[in-house]
A and B are shown apart, each in its own frame.
Chain A
Amino acid sequence: PQPGVVTVHEIPRRGPIPSFSPFALKLETFLRMAKIPYQVDHSDKVSKKGKIPWIELDEDVISDSTFCIEYLIKKFAVRLDNHLCEEDKAIARCMWKMIEENTFWATVVQDRTINHIDEFMKICKVPFVTVVLIKLISVPRLKKLMYSHGIGRHSQEEIRHIGQQDLQAISTILGTKPFFLGDSATTVDAVIFGLLANLTHCISEEAWSYKLLKNDLKNLDDFVERMKDIYWPDWNELIEGKPNTNIFCSQDSIDPDAVMDMCNEL
């Protein structure tokens, strides 16, 4: 790893999305929003807490994507959220926790990975032997985690209902705003984008989450495309296998008026 540069350890890029892990996508999106240069290590090592992604910066090693973001905010004096009032910070926190501790299980785990595993494996071009292993080992393990969490004790229809309630709630909170807390993007936008982008770009089209976002909760689908256009203009290059080039750090700071024009056009 280069000294003075953040190294993000995450799973290799696969499929039609820079990362099919909502947590890695959130973390990279945040780094781009905060204009912090970073390099990526795809060698698949997990952290001491058994989780991935994790980051390294010189001697500092931080595990858990949320702790990584909190560390980066302090270390680089990131001001994305400074203008928010206490009530906005509070609602941001609730949405953050709801998305990662509840919606994630109903949508990414149950709907995408368990219910529609074949299509998910196909989209990510996972080799046959690995698919077999995933079905034999990972899927039962995920079901066990969901049971432990509590949500796995419900029927399929009940789990769908739980996930739908969450997505409906954030759709209502977003309304017609370009970003969740107003006219400028804040950290929680990266969190929600990390999850939603995976549900519109890297999932079977038969999945209820995909259909809900594409047909009913259109403002969430539009939000994903907005964030993708602004913060991931190199999306296609990355999917093709090109390395991360820190485009946000080598150019001058983004003109906020240009961003608003882009939002209005979308």
Chain B
Amino acid sequence: LSNTSIMGSEAGNIVVYQTKKGTMIPTLSPFVLKLETYLRMADLKYENNHSGKASKKGKIPWMTVDGKEIADSAFCIQYLNKKYNIDLDQHLDDTQKATAHAYIRMLEENTFWGALVQVRAMEDLPWTLNEFGVPKLGKIPAKLIFKRKATNAMWNHGIGRHSQEEIHTITTNDIRACSMFLGDKKFFMGDQPSAVDAVIFGFFAEMAYAMPPDSWLPRLINDEYSNLRAYCDRMKEKYWPDWDSKLR
């Protein structure tokens, strides 16, 4: 089962490997959403494979380009840039590119754990299993397995050693930094879109549209730091006009 992008020029066969579609969002992974958004921003046609098969490095997403396998979303993007001569950051100076890089690292190496893993795995796993389409009979063993995996990963990372309140504070400070930097700009770096927008949208769309409804996390994005919500709505309209057709 695959879906083709509605935009884009013919550019070799690109397949993005990921898990099932979500009910509120095309994918529950900020890294998949980043990669697909990037492909759309770069005007590249692609297909999705929802089998949930992991890459050789044990992670999702990964992609094939004309049969060649590339793992890790950042390496996928670097590969695409090289192969198709893409540079979404032409208009940025070196300091802006360096700044964008730092924001990407913070979101992918810190906020990912304190926001997405914390809420979806540690605070409301039943909601998450539902969203991932785990069948009813599988739910009880899935809960035990995933809870233990997530707890270990959070502990190994370091952030899992803190109390829930401490984790909320860490995450809030990360989100606040992004909100302050974005301000009232149209895109993250200014009037024009750049590569970092795929990452920012990938993360904040997950936090704004696809979280347990009563959670503290979507409230932060939609109420307190609402410029992030407005930003997501803009990106969604521009790059995902077919959003609704991509839901389960």
Contacts and interface: CB of A to CB of B under 8 A. Distances in A.
A contact face: mostly helix, strand, loop, or mixed: helix
Interface string B132-170: 000000000000000000001100111001100010000
B86 interface: no
Interface string B42-62: 000000000000000111000
A213 interface: no
Contacts of B181: 87, 90-91
B89 to A, nearest CB: 13
Contacts, number: 89
A166 B95 contact: no
Contacts of B101: 98, 165-166, 169
B162 A64 contact: yes
Interface in B70-114: 72, 75, 94-95, 97-99, 101-103, 105-106, 109-110
Contact of A169 (B59, B102, B180): B102
Interface stretch (B9-17, B122-130, B171-179, B238-246): B171-179
A169 B166 CA distance: 29
A50 B158 CA distance: 10
A170 B173 contact: no
A170 B102 CA distance: 8
Contacts of A148: 152-153, 156-157
Interface stretch (A107-115, A150-158, A234-242, A256-264): A150-158
A149 B105 contact: no
A64 B169 CA distance: 14
A168 B98 CA distance: 8
B77 to A, nearest CB: 13
Interface of B: 57-59, 72, 75, 94-95, 97-99, 101-103, 105-106, 109-110, 152-153, 156-158, 161-162, 166, 173-174, 176-178, 180-181, 183
Interface of A: 49-51, 64, 67, 86-87, 89-91, 93-95, 97-98, 101-102, 144-145, 148-150, 153-154, 158, 165-166, 168-170, 172-173, 175
